[in-house]
Amino acid sequence: MYDLQILYPTFVLVFLTFGVTLAMPLIRFRAVKSEKVDLRYFKYYETRYEVPASVMALSNHYNNLFQMPILFYIVSILIMLTNTVDTIFLQLAWAYVAMRLLHSIIHLSYNHVMHRLIPFALSTLILLVLWFRLFLSIGQPIIAIQ
């Protein structure tokens, strides 16, 4: 039987991704309706059209949610499948999600780059620790030297 607790932090990150996904058309429609963005911009995302920072930040953040978090989803599933879920893995997983949530809040609100860098860097470090700890928890290296 697998310990499913490791999936709860992944669910939170998935819901964040869907929240950003649902917000994107709303923000874009408003920008087009208020004539802040030319609708032709969305055809090829050409830089010749002016785009408000809020629309760009949301699009960039959406793309960010399909970069490093993918490694988090994979490591979470591997932790579950290898039956290595423990308190430390759970704390690290929740810390990763907390940093990604903080990163999202900063990115989608006042968007101060240096403030955003801190939770991003911490989340990346936590993710690296998750992967390294999983590697050590498995025991035998996958590739044996003979």
- For the record, the structure tokens of 101 come out as 């949530």
> In which region does residue 63 sit, left (phi positive, over 0), alpha (psi from -120 to 50) or beta (all else)?
alpha
What is the pLDDT, as a whole number, of residue 2?
79
Given a contact cutoff of 8 angstroms between Cβ atoms, the answer to whether 3 and 83 are in contact is: yes
- Architecture of domain 4-138 in CATH? Up-down Bundle (1.20)
Given a contact cutoff of 8 angstroms between Cβ atoms, the answer to whether 77 and 11 are in contact is: no
Q: Give the global pTM.
A: 0.88
Each residue of 38-47: pLDDT tens digit?
Answer: 777 777 777 7
Residues of the chain with pLDDT below 50 are none
